[in-house]
Amino acid sequence: MEEITSNFIHEIIDADLASGVNSTVHTRFPPEPNGYLHIGSAKAIWINYTTAKKYGGKFNLRYDDTNPAKEDNEYVESIYKDLIWLGAVPNGGVFYGSDYFDKCYEFAVKLIKDGKAYVCDLSADELRDYRGTLTEPGRESPYRNRSVEENLDLFERMKNGEFPDGSRTLRAKIDMASPNINMRDPAIYRIVHTSHHRQGNKWCIYPLYDYAHPIQDALEGITYSLCSLEFENHRPLYEWVIDNIGFDPKPKQREFARLNVTHVVMSKRYLRKLVETGLVDGWDDPRMPTLCGLRRRGYTPESIFEFIRRTGVSKGNSLVAIEQLEACIRDELNETAERRIAVLSPIKVVITNYPEDKTEYFEISNNPQDPRAGTRKLPFTRELYIDSDDFSENPPPKFFRMKEGGEVRLMGAYIVRCNEIIKDKDGKITEIRCTADIKTSNGNPLDGRKIKGTIHWLSAKYSEKTTVKLYDKLFTIENTADIPDEKTYDDYLNPKSVVAIEECMIEKSLSEAKEGERFQFVRTGYFCKDIKNKNTFNRIVTLKDGSGKKF
């Protein structure tokens, strides 16, 4: 098993194991099935999965499906697919929060009988008013001292559907003067007359997360409930539920800083809006921070987990540059991706001293970083394509690519001299005519002259057309948390986040590439075959860090 670097969570576990507080490690990942997982979810998955793995323990997937109005089986299936794709197999099992609705109800009745919960008739607005503020204590509900018998009767009638949505809640009886607002008699059940995606219409009352989650953890034997930092102030309530229901052994909640990435929005509500309004091509649009979007873009599970590993596990919030994620996939693909040639903006080149009916083949390395990848033969003919960026009529100083009267090497093949430029009536270049130094077949000139430039090329006869999509950051603002109150995320959508180029030329073999297969397009970037559009390649990342780019 690969070494898993220690962090403050592991130090807590080490101390617990040494003192006998726990003898095993059992973690869980509890996503709500109301959207697709994103790069931030990957951190929670990685922490819980690798922690269990390090200690030879178990890792559960548990769907937090306690809010039926927003949940759908589509999201249930996508979450499991993403988890398996990442390699985080839930060896402890797959569970649903709704599996425990009967138990949650049973324990709520216990709390009522123990005088620790009551039915409250305050409306949502009244509840907020009674709750108090960070500087002022809350006020007790006028329904707080109902008898146990009345509370049991009302709670059962809530379950039986006698009351409308929002008319009553079941609240834990804790302390309305607590400095922690979460402990001021929080609601633990609410009325929701909505069909559940798994339970149907069996229930019209649903437990709230802060109540249901510790119960689920305890029933599954979770030893460490590892969650993001916003739940730190909820920990006392988590422990209150565990203590007052009487669970033993007790799961332990510990918190870590969330993953915040530049130029990325992780609000599922907003991501859903992008999908529903058609601003992106679904949840798996390659510009989306969703795991399915990153998968379609061409990212690998290894690169995502390596990114999480590099960012580390801490209690301090920070903003991580998206270029670090790009560096992880770039480093991986530099070692593993086979090289292929694509000409994104083709100009025809005619080698006038080369026979029209001749084809010869030059041997090209599939990956200079990996000799085991072998070589392939690239056909060379009289008519070729080069990229328009590799030619200039008015070249700037130190331009070492193709220019009139100048020489340049065709990668792996001949040195050619540009002799003539052919244009149409509108002044557009239609053809460049060159002569090849036939004695330089993948070698140096015999007279010792130095050729500084090398460009890539393709045979016009043995290449295919394709569409290439160049993806960039979806948002122009670096820190999406810094958007002013008068602005919205929409104001910072990058109009150049995707550029489609439809007349690209590629090696013929690329037309047979498998969906999702990744390549380095020589001198251009890393690309993968799109999983939705048969004849499209998506740019995963550029060859070099583009962090200095301005919008």
Q: Which residues are designated catalytic?
A: 32, 258, 268
Size (the chain), residues: 551
Give residue 81's identity as a one-letter amino acid code: K
Q: Which residue, 53, 27, 68, 40, is CA-closest to 216?
A: 27
DSSP E strands: which ranges in 327-382? 338-340, 342-343, 346-351, 360-365, 375-380
- Would you say 208 and 64 are in contact if contact means Cβ atoms under 8 Å apart? no
Neighbour tally for 498: CB within 10 Å = 18
- Would you say 464 and 435 are in contact if contact means Cβ atoms under 8 Å apart? no
542: its two tokens: 């550029």
Residue 12 Cα distances to 17, 22, 26, 42, 322, angstroms: 9, 11, 14, 22, 30
| Cα separation, 452 vs 235, whole angstroms | 65
* Letter string b/e over residues 521-539, b meaning 16 or more CB atoms within 10 A of that residue's CB: bbbbbbbbbbbeeeebbbb
Report CA torsion sign: 333, 337, 341, 345: negative
Using only the alpha carbons of the chain, give its radius of gyration.
Answer: 31
Residue 522 Cα distances to 339, 366, 454, 467, 475, angstroms: 6, 10, 12, 17, 28
525: its two tokens: 């970037």
- Would you say 185 and 111 are in contact if contact means Cβ atoms under 8 Å apart? no
